[in-house]
Structure 1
Amino acid sequence: MSQTTTLETLQTQAVAPRQRDKAPVAMSFFNMDGFELMQRIAKAFSQADLVPKQYQDNLPNCMIALDMAQRMGANPLMVMQNLYIVHGTPGWSSKFLIATVNTCGRFSSMRYEWKGEPGSSDYGCRAWAIEKSTGERLDGIWVTWKMVNDEGWAAKNGSKWKTMPDQMFIYRAAAFWQRAYAPDLGMGLQTAEELQDVIDAKRDADGSFTVDLDVLRRQQEVTDKAPGAGQQALEHEPGEVIDTVSGEITKSAQRQPADQQPDTGTDELNLE
């Protein structure tokens, strides 16, 4: 006695082997299936209210964040919440890098050692952790008030070094430690706090230093998205003067007409 085979059964049997043979698709910029998958996931994130504004309705930013999360083995939303754009450059929040070190499994939880008296030039801290594979204690470099003042980190308007110095010591010491012993965890990026403090100056052949004024202008035009900073930078006006050492903007004594103002891309600094 023959058994009746329905059309639905035949269709299922024909499709099932192909589904079993198909390998899982991983997100990637470099193959069609992976790229399409990344686009679909990025579109979902871009429509979410939980992601920061720089990712909302911005598919390319979401795709980049997804790629970074995949390479780091981190949650995509956590990456988006802790990746900031400071002066046009991406940077991690310090607390995210500390958490990444603590959870990577290669080191003990990060600890901090202090020295000196509060307020003295040698007061500061360094980060340290134990490497689990060898049991060796890995010490970071000392970050002291002398370093802070020599680098000019505390000289800027609104600097957190003035209001929460101990927290900034911890963040800076942790960032130095991470770049020394686990640079792969941060993918070569600086922290958002470092990007706020540092202005890159290039040394010319004659020994002088120059700073790109476009970088300085962007510092006044972008919104400071680092944690704890809610004020939006003001746009640079023609009548304002930028102090390229401290980053402060002051009004000039006399405003020159726009057609008499020099149009230069760099500003000479004498750092000797």
Structure 2
Amino acid sequence: MSTTTQSALAQPKPTRELRVVEDSGPLAHLFDTARFDHLYRIAGAMAAASLLPEHLWRNKQGVFEPEQVRGNCFLIVNQSVRWGMDPFAVMPETYVVGGKLAYQGKLIAAVVNARAGLEGRLKYEFKGKKGSDDFTITVSGKFPGDEEASELSLSVGEAKTGNDMWRKDPEQKLVYSGAVKWARRYCPEIVLGVVTDDDIERMNERAAAEEKTVKQKARPVFTEPQPEGPAPVVAEENTLEPKEQKPEPAPEKKEPVFVPANAREKLAVALRDLDFSQERFVSGLRRIDPGKVADGITIVPQLPEEVCERVLEEGLDEILDFIRIKEAKDEDRAGK
């Protein structure tokens, strides 16, 4: 980081009178004035470090403003508080691609083991030939009160991206990717809104494929050369006989196509296509993360736009699977 940026961060900012808010809820680190200020000071200390990762203080366009650097660091501090982890240990396990802050899969695996409330740790079993796409991992973890462990299987062919680690150490990479996928299915509240290295790599691959398709469509189309020689003789029409007038077919009526304009509408359409009611979805989402769904919200159009965006980014199918699992567990407890 440049000396100018470090000195600017170290200078005290002019203070202004703030309204003091006291909060002891699950998001007190954001809504309580004293706690928020303390986290912001931690972010300032992180931003002033000379060993700060480059992606937090500059990009291709140049060096960020000091407050932008501090804001980037605050994102890491806030996520670390949610996980109950040391923000300075989390910081090196981050990177930015395409303007998105992502976290390494090994960090997510550590978070699950430390914060998911499992009986023991995640367990891994392998089968198949190592080095082939059929090489498969089964990740399992047991929650207190469950009779059986929750399991998920993932093969190299299903998970691999362009990351070179899939070639050098596919077993370890499969552990990281399997742990992330397991967490998104069985404890999504821990990784809600978190983008991983696998996510970024897949987004980059999709973007590259789309760009290639666009370039292929833009290529000029050349017609085959016509054979040389005299032009074919075309028989003259008999203009004396009247031509039979055929009625023109009536134009087909096309139904207007509904195009979702925002994340709320996209989510509502997706739920409709999956035959999953909005009320059931909102109720299930409240069980997963009560802080994201305020009381009184019952349908998707009432949800905040950013919540709908995160649901779509995380994967609606996985969240619906988790809701179904939660519902089944609640029914079992009610039966007992």
TM-score range, shorter chain: 0.5 to 0.7
- Residue by residue over 1:214-262, the C-alpha shift from the partner in whole angstroms, topping out at 9 and shown as x without a partner, is xx5xxxxxxxxxxxxxxxxxxxxxxxx95469xxxxxxx9xxxxxxxxx
Distance 2:35 2:141 in 1: 38
TM-score (norm 2): 0.46
- Say if 1:110 and 1:48 are closer, same or farther in 2 by CA, change over 3 A: same
1:62 partner amino acid? C
CA contact (8 A) 2:130 2:171 kept: no
1:65 partner amino acid? I
Q: Which residue of 1 aligns with 2:178?
A: 173
- Say if 1:76 and 1:120 are closer, same or farther in 2 by CA, change over 3 A: closer
- TM-align CA RMSD: 3.8
Distance 2:166 2:191 in 1: 23
| Range 64-73 or range 176-185, more displaced | 64-73
1:185 pairs, out of 183, 190, 196, with 190
1:122 pairs, out of 130, 134, 142, with 134
Query: 1:112 aligns to what SS in structure 2?
Result: strand
Q: Which residue of 1 aligns with 2:77?
A: 66
- Say if 1:146 and 1:81 are closer, same or farther in 2 by CA, change over 3 A: closer
Shift of 1:96: 0.9
Shift of 1:82: 2.0
Of the two structures, which has the highest relative contact order with CA contacts closer than 8 Å and spacing of 6 or more? 1
Alignment size in residue pairs: 185
- Say if 1:115 and 1:244 are closer, same or farther in 2 by CA, change over 3 A: farther
Question: Structure 1: which 5+ runs fail to align?
Answer: 1-22, 202-210, 217-240, 246-252, 254-272
Distance 2:131 2:41 in 1: 53
Question: Structure 2: which 5+ runs fail to align?
Answer: 1-21, 58-65, 220-336
Q: Which residue of 1 aligns with 2:38?
A: 37
Q: Which residue of 1 aligns with 2:297?
A: none
TM-score (norm 1): 0.55
Query: 2:195 aligns to what SS in structure 1?
Result: coil
Give the structure with the larger helix fraction: 2
1:173 partner amino acid? G
Distance 2:189 2:116 in 1: 14
Larger Rg computed on CA atoms: 2
CA contact (8 A) 1:126 1:174 kept: no
Query: 1:114 aligns to what SS in structure 2?
Result: strand
1:102 counterpart = 2:103: no
Q: Which residue of 2 aligns with 1:112?
A: 124
Query: 2:85 aligns to what SS in structure 1?
Result: coil
1:159 partner amino acid? D
Give the structure with the larger strand fraction: 1
2:111 partner amino acid? T
1:143 partner amino acid? L
Shift of 1:76: 1.5
Shift of 1:105: 5.8
Q: Which residue of 2 aligns with 1:230?
A: none
